[in-house]
């Protein structure tokens, strides 16, 4: 009796994506899209009705992620604002607050 060989190789269709930006960071929308793709994977061969439901759920997840990412950004900005203010640089702190 022979054993089948273990297959360890890269899927030829495997794709590592690279996302880049110029003179800015990623927006909450861009990151939320990437995050949702990590959470939800929708098979092309799934039942069309289930696919549609999954896509609708994914869009909802994207919106929730966007919202809470903005919350986190704003909250972090408040922390940064106070840290800069405490260091005595009121002008820079004000610039951060207005972002």
Partner 1 sequence: MAFNGNFMCTSFKKELLYGVHDFDNSSGDTFKIALYTNSASFNAATTSYTTGNEVSGQGYTAGGGTLVNVDPTSSGTTALTDFVDETFSNATITARGALIYNTTPNTTSISVSTPTVVVLDFGADKASTNGDFTIVFPTANASNAIIRIA
CB atoms within 10 A of CB 65: 19
19's CB contacts (< 8 A; 6+ apart) are: 26, 30, 34
The alpha carbon dihedral of 78, 82, 83, 88 has a sign of positive
Among 10, 48, 86, 98, binds partner 1 (CB under 8 A): 10
Least CB distance to partner 1 at residue 99 (A)? 16
The alpha carbon dihedral of 22, 34, 56, 43 has a sign of positive
Are 31 and 67 a contacting pair, CB within 8 Å? no
Least CB distance to partner 1 at residue 42 (A)? 10
Footprint of partner 1 on residues 36-65 (CB under 8 A)?
A: 37-38, 41
Q: Pick the stretch among 7-15, 46-54, 59-67, 85-93 that binds partner 1 (CB under 8 A).
A: 7-15
Among 1, 2, 3, 9, binds partner 1 (CB under 8 A): 9
Among 1, 24, 49, 99, binds partner 1 (CB under 8 A): 24
Tokens of 35: 């995050």
List of residues contacting partner 1 (CB under 8 A): 6-26, 34, 37-38, 41
């Amino acid at each position: 009796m022979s054993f089948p060989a273990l297959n360890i190789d890269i899927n030829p269709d495997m794709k590592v994506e690279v996302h880049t930006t110029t003179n800015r960071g990623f927006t909450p929308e861009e990151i939320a899209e990437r995050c949702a793709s990590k959470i939800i994977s929708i098979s092309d061969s799934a039942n069309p009705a289930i696919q549609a439901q999954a896509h609708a759920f994914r869009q909802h997840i994207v919106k929730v992620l966007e919202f809470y990412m903005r919350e986190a950004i704003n909250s972090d900005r408040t922390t940064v604002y106070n840290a800069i203010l405490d260091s005595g640089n009121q002008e820079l702190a004000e610039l951060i607050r207005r972002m």
